[in-house]
Structures are given as C-alpha cells and as structure tokens.
Amino acid sequence: MRAAAHGHLDDRIDGLRALVSAHCRREEREAFPQLRRSVPMPERREMGRVLRAAAEAAADAGPRDATTAGPRAMAQTAERVRDALAGWS
C-alpha cells in the first residue's frame, strides 16, 4: 500500500516538474522578449531589484535544510505541500 501511494506522489511530482519546465520555456521564448520590447530599462531594473529582495526574504524565512529545520517548520512545510497537492486529481 505504501509503495503504491509513494508511486502516486512521484507521478504528481513528475507532473509538477513538467509544468514548471514548460512554464519556464514559455517565459524565455515569449514573455521575456515581450517584456524587453515593452518595458523601459529603468523599470526592468526596478522589477529585478524587487524580485531579488523577495528571494532574499524567502531565503531568510527559514532553513531549507531538513537537518536544521525544527519539527514545527517541517510540519508547516508538510502542511503547505499537502494543501498544494489537495486540488490535484
């Protein structure tokens, strides 16, 4: 039973990986070139600054290494993953 459940999760993770990869390819091929054509350089630089600040804030939010994360952080992460996967069929 556990092996079957684990296999199902693997399938969902593979599906998520494929969706993220397709999204990235679409951004590189379509969205980023359109952004370069339509948004002035100063505004693009500001967008980049905001994205970097958000990435730093996310990194500061807690440890990513499971060996250093406390039980509460691990439980919260597990709950977020569960909630994200709940809508998948």
Strands (E), 1-89: none
Task: Output the pTM of the full model.
Answer: 0.49
Separation of alpha carbons 68 and 57, rounded Å: 18
Is 71 a residue whose pLDDT tops 80? no
H-helix segments, 27-70: 32-38, 41-60
Question: What is the pLDDT at residue 54?
Answer: 75
Residue ranges per domain, the chain?
A: 2-83
Categorize the per-residue pLDDT at 59 as very low, low, confident or very high, splitting at 50, 70 and 90.
low
16-55 confidence digits (pLDDT tens): 899 999 999 999 999 999 999 999 999 999 888 887 877 7
Please measure the distance between the N-terminal and C-terminal CA atoms of the chain and give it in whole angstroms: 19
Q: Which two tokens stand for residue 40?
A: 């002035």
Residue bearing the bigger pLDDT, 16 or 58: 16
Residue bearing the bigger pLDDT, 76 or 3: 76
